[in-house]
Amino acid sequence: MADYTIVRLEDVDDVLGDYPGEMRMLTAALDAEQVALTYRRMPQHTGGKGSYGHRHRTQEEVYFVASGKLQFKLGDDVVELGAGSAVRVAPSTWRSVWNDEPEDAELIIVSPRIESARDDAEYLEDFWPTD
């Protein structure tokens, strides 16, 4: 007998609330045991610029830009990635993502699944100041 789970994006709650765009954490809905998967849609001028950054104690993350163009602040570096590009970020690297483009961008985030991702994260206020 095959063992698999199918989930439709629109069937997973958007955790952003009133914040523009959407962020849907698919891991629990998929009953994934080893991999965490998150979908994020980012309208223009959304993300962490002018706000905080984060890093992890143990969790490596891979960000895949599915559509649009995004800026990533990784430590002291700012890099721009377009659709079809991916970046692996080590746990100890401070990071934040920003959409400066007029069109929405779609981002897929993959990482090892851990019991408490929130407990694994550290946050840094004023990580990416506005220009």
Structural domain count of the chain: 1
Interatomic CA distance for residues 119 and 115, integer angstroms: 9
CATH code of 100's domain = 2.60.120.10
Residue 130 is predicted with a pLDDT of 86
Tokens for 12, please give them: 């997973």
| pTM summary value | 0.94
Residue 116 is predicted with a pLDDT of 77
Residue 20 belongs to domain spanning: 11-114
Is residue 5, in this structure, part of any structural domain at all?
A: no
Ordered per-residue pLDDT tens for the chain, 131 residues: 889 999 999 999 999 988 999 999 999 999 999 999 999 999 999 999 999 999 999 999 999 999 999 999 999 999 999 999 999 999 999 999 999 999 999 999 999 998 877 789 999 999 999 87
Q: What is the 3-state secondary structure (H, E, C) of 17-48?
A: CCCCCEEEECHHHHCCCCEEEEEEEECCCEEC
Is residue 127, in this structure, part of any structural domain at all?
A: no
Is residue 37, in this structure, part of any structural domain at all?
A: yes
